[in-house]
């Protein structure tokens, strides 16, 4: 066991002596530059549907039949814009389903629903009525 300890001690001394010799290199002052890629934020499309079924594309009234073409144009952009969908509580489900189907067929990947937090009085009324 003692000869093994002696060999390990010799190896340790050799590594301690030779390690600083291996780290010598030429010192060069390299200019520092920030090369972080620029992150391009995707646009957001605000699509609102009122109670009567009228569709608004970024606050501009649009016919429901014109949505597929507008969505296809936006889906071709890179990065693809986010679609923020706001609908009135009294909007017909059929209108909302058509809009969502148009977005899917156009290839829009990011569709989100914009909602408002429930009011305290309204929330407790729904909870007590069993809705």
What is the spatial distance between Cα 70 and Cα 105, in angstroms, rounded to a whole number? 12
- Domain enclosing residue 72, as ranges: 44-116
Q: Has this prediction a pTM greater than 0.95?
A: no
Residue 124 has pLDDT above 70, yes or no: no
Q: 124 or 116: whose pLDDT is higher?
A: 116
Q: What order of strands is seen across the sheet that includes strand 111-113?
A: 60-62, 55-57, 44-49, 82-87, 111-113
Q: In total, how many domains does the chain have?
A: 1
Residue 56 phi, psi dihedral angles, 5° rounding: -120, 120
CATH number at residue 90: 3.30.420.270
The answer to the question of residue 87 being in a domain is yes
7 falls within a domain: no
In a domain, 85, yes or no: yes
- As a whole number of angstroms, the distance between CA 71 and CA 14 comes to 71
Is the pLDDT assigned to residue 121 strictly greater than 70?
no
- Tell me the per-residue pLDDT of 61-101, one tens digit each, with 9 for 90 and over: 999 999 999 999 999 988 889 999 999 988 898 999 999 99
- The confidence score (pLDDT) of residue 19 equals 76
Is there a domain that residue 111 lies in? yes
* Residue 130 resides in a domain: no
| Region of residue 44 (left: phi > 0; alpha: psi -120 to 50; beta: else) | beta
Q: What percent of the chain has pLDDT over 70?
A: 79
Mean per-residue pLDDT for 104-118?
88
Residue 51 falls inside a structural domain: yes
């Amino acid at each position: 066991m003692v000869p093994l300890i002696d060999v390990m001690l010799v190896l340790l001394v050799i590594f301690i002596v030779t390690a600083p010799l291996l780290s010598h290199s030429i010192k060069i002052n390299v200019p520092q530059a920030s090369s972080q890629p620029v992150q391009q934020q995707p646009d957001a499309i605000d699509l609102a549907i009122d109670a009567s079924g009228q569709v608004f594309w970024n606050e501009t009234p649009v016919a429901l039949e014109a949505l597929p073409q507008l969505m296809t144009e936006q889906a071709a952009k890179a990065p693809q814009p986010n679609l923020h969908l706001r609908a009135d509580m009294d909007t017909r489900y059929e209108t909302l389903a058509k809009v969502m189907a148009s977005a899917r067929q156009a290839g829009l990947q990011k569709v989100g629903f914009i909602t408002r937090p429930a009011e305290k009085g309204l929330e407790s009324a729904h909870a007590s009525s069993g809705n």
